[in-house]
Amino acid sequence: MNIAVKPVGLGLVLLAVLRREIALGFRQKGEVLTPLVFFVVIASLFPLGVGPESALLLRMAPGVLWVSALLAAMLSLQRMFATDYADGSLEQMALSTTPLALLVLAKALAHFLLAGLPLVLMAPVLGLQFGLDSRALGILMLSLLLGTPTLSLIGSIGAALTLGVRGAGVLLSLLILPLYIPVLIFGAGAVEADAAGLGIGGHLSLMAALLVLSLFFSPLATAAALRISLE
């Protein structure tokens, strides 16, 4: 009987933490709007700086949009655990009977919903500036939908390792940017492969594999890093 109830209880805890994080995020609208505005500004400046040459813009589009999304998603990573660390809530989470990895997973999912999902929804609008057709825009959205949760999960490890460290923003970037490179390569490569008439299944499959691996390993690694930071 207890074996059947326990997953339900953990699921309710996950939903409760997720609702809490989303509610806190909407109270501090800057955390939601800043990555989105940054994404729009960076992606919009490239067509203005490069010029109206359509062939060049089409070649640049996947890389520019993916790099812009990656950098935008990084902006709010530092605050993923900072508020709970400052008010002592993080210590209570670590001492609770709920697995810390589950709470970390909820926080990473909330980060994706607040900082990653808006980028996915905005990407087609920005892609029109580069002359991408409807098929390319769909592939771009799909690659971002697979990639941005992975960015949040991997980024949670860096946020935990740099918790309470002076100059954490720079250190966080140095730690996680190398880990972001495979996601960037396969995400932008999917759009480029379709434009070249090649199959995109391999790129998307690898991105899905990275997402599954991140879902399994990142919460455990982040929980371990948080316990080290709290000692």
Residue 159 confidence (pLDDT) above 80: yes
Q: In terms of Cα–Cα distance, which of 228, 151, 135 is closest to 190?
A: 135
Q: Residue 1 — pLDDT band, cuts 50, 70, 90? A: very low
pLDDT at residue 33, as a whole number: 84
Note if the pTM is more than 0.85.
yes
**Full residue range of the structural domain in which residue 135 is found:** 2-230
Q: Residue 149 — pLDDT band, cuts 50, 70, 90? A: very high
SS3 label, residue 32 = helix
Q: CA–CA separation, 173 vs 120, rounded Å?
A: 22
Q: CA–CA separation, 81 vs 64, rounded Å?
A: 29
Q: How many domains does the chain have?
A: 1
Work out the end-to-end distance of the chain between its first and last CA atoms, rounded to an integer number of angstroms.
36
Work out the mean pLDDT of the chain and round it to a whole number: 85
pLDDT at residue 4, as a whole number: 45
What pLDDT, in 10s, does the model give residues 57-114?
888 888 899 999 999 988 888 888 888 888 778 888 888 788 888 889 999 999 999 8
